[in-house]
């Protein structure tokens, strides 16, 4: 990864760990995670527990703030307040989080989120000073039919339309091929790298080369401490959005391996 961009290791806990388990898990991993992020100047770790556990994790992180460990939500609605039962608003997320994951494939698949909705949420996040991690990626059928490029193109143009130019570089994109999520079948560093390169190119067409050069693009899909080096060694990949392994101690090991590889690559 190019060392001009700060690397991100984010953990998407999905629907795991309520208050007690979230507290116990964060207390378990935090000392080692703090050490890892403190050992490299250009790394940021973002923990994304379920909404109900955000405050608990926030309280632990606030006891002794570590500048490179932040909190993120897994979703939010784009309206600021009102009659939207079950939703949380950007203003609420902002009270606890720096970041919000948007358009995850599970939200697109199980809850019918469209590129248009993801776009509204992305714009709302930027307006409220949140860092959006916008997820895109093709499914198995599209992958096998060789349609990855087309799918990525449609998702980027749709989900990331009309961004204010001066904020275009605050976006983080996570390339998560759906066939690699939770399957144990990760993409290869080379395969993911090609798609990530395409994403950067398409983003450059939309917002110019400067925004594209600063854009952070993460890989997600069956990332473990065993394969993270392969991804982070690719010059276009700036980190990972980790699912299953983010609710285990392996998350710290992934961060450690990432730092190790970046130190070798960057020198
Ligand atoms: P896994 O790491 O469990 O494959 O999940 C990836 C993911 O969906 C992260 O958002």
Asked whether residue 67 carries a pLDDT value surpassing 80, the answer given is yes
Domain assignment present for residue 1? The answer is: no
CA 135 to ligand 1: nearest atom = 10
**Residue whose CB lies within 8 A of the most ligand 1 atoms, among 224, 227, 243, for a mutation test:** 243
Asked whether residue 267 carries a pLDDT value surpassing 80, the answer given is no
pLDDT of residue 3: 53
pLDDT digits (tens, 9 = 90+) for 12-38: 999 999 999 999 999 999 999 999 999
Domain assignment present for residue 28? The answer is: yes
Domain coverage including residue 25: 7-265
Place of tokens 């983080």: 172
Cβ partners under 8 Å of residue 158, min gap 6: 114, 115, 116, 118, 119
- 22, exposed or middle or buried, with CB in 10 Å at 0-12, 13-18, 19+? buried
pLDDT digits (tens, 9 = 90+) for 211-255: 999 999 999 999 999 999 999 999 999 999 999 999 999 999 999
Domain assignment present for residue 2? The answer is: no
- Reference 231, options 265, 267, 204; nearest CA is 265
**Residue whose CB lies within 8 A of the most ligand 1 atoms, among 102, 176, 179, for a mutation test:** 176
Mean predicted lDDT score pLDDT of the chain? 96
163: CATH: 3.20.20.70
At residue 265 the predicted structure's pLDDT band, cuts being 50, 70 and 90, is: confident
pLDDT of residue 4: 79
Overall number of domains in the chain: 1
CB 132 within 8 A of CB 126: yes
- Reference 154, options 176, 138, 168, 178; nearest CA is 138
- 81, exposed or middle or buried, with CB in 10 Å at 0-12, 13-18, 19+? exposed
Domain assignment present for residue 116? The answer is: yes
**Pocket of ligand 1 from Cβ distances under 6 Å:** 12, 104, 176, 181-182, 220-223, 241-245
Distance 183 CA to ligand 1 centre (A): 9
Is 234 catalytic? The answer is no
């Amino acid at each position: 990864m190019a060392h001009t961009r700060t690397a991100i290791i984010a953990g998407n806990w999905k629907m795991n760990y309520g208050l007690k388990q979230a507290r116990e898990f964060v207390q378990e991993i935090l000392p080692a995670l703090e050490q890892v992020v403190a050992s490299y100047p250009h790394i940021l770790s973002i923990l994304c527990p379920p909404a109900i556990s955000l405050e608990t994790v926030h309280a632990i992180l606030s006891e002794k703030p570590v500048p490179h460990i932040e909190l993120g939500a897994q979703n939010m609605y784009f309206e600021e307040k009102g009659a939207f039962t079950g939703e949380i608003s950007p203003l609420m997320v902002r009270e606890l989080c720096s970041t919000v994951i948007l358009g995850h494939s599970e939200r697109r698949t199980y809850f019918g989120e469209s590129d248009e909705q993801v776009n509204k949420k992305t714009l709302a996040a930027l307006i409220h000073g949140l860092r959006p991690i916008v997820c895109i990626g093709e499914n198995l059928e599209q992958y096998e039919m060789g349609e990855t490029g087309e799918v990525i193109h449609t998702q980027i143009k749709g989900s990331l339309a009309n961004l204010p130019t001066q904020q275009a570089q605050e976006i983080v994109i996570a390339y998560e091929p759906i066939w690699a999520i939770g399957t144990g079948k990760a993409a290869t560093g080379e395969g993911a790298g090609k798609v990530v390169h395409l994403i950067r190119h398409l983003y450059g067409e939309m917002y110019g080369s400067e925004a594209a050069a600063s854009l952070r693009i993460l890989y997600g899909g069956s990332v473990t401490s065993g394969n993270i080096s392969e991804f982070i060694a690719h010059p276009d990949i700036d980190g990972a959005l980790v699912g299953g392994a983010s609710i285990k101690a392996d998350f710290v090991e992934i961060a450690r391996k990432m730092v190790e590889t970046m130190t070798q690559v960057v020198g």
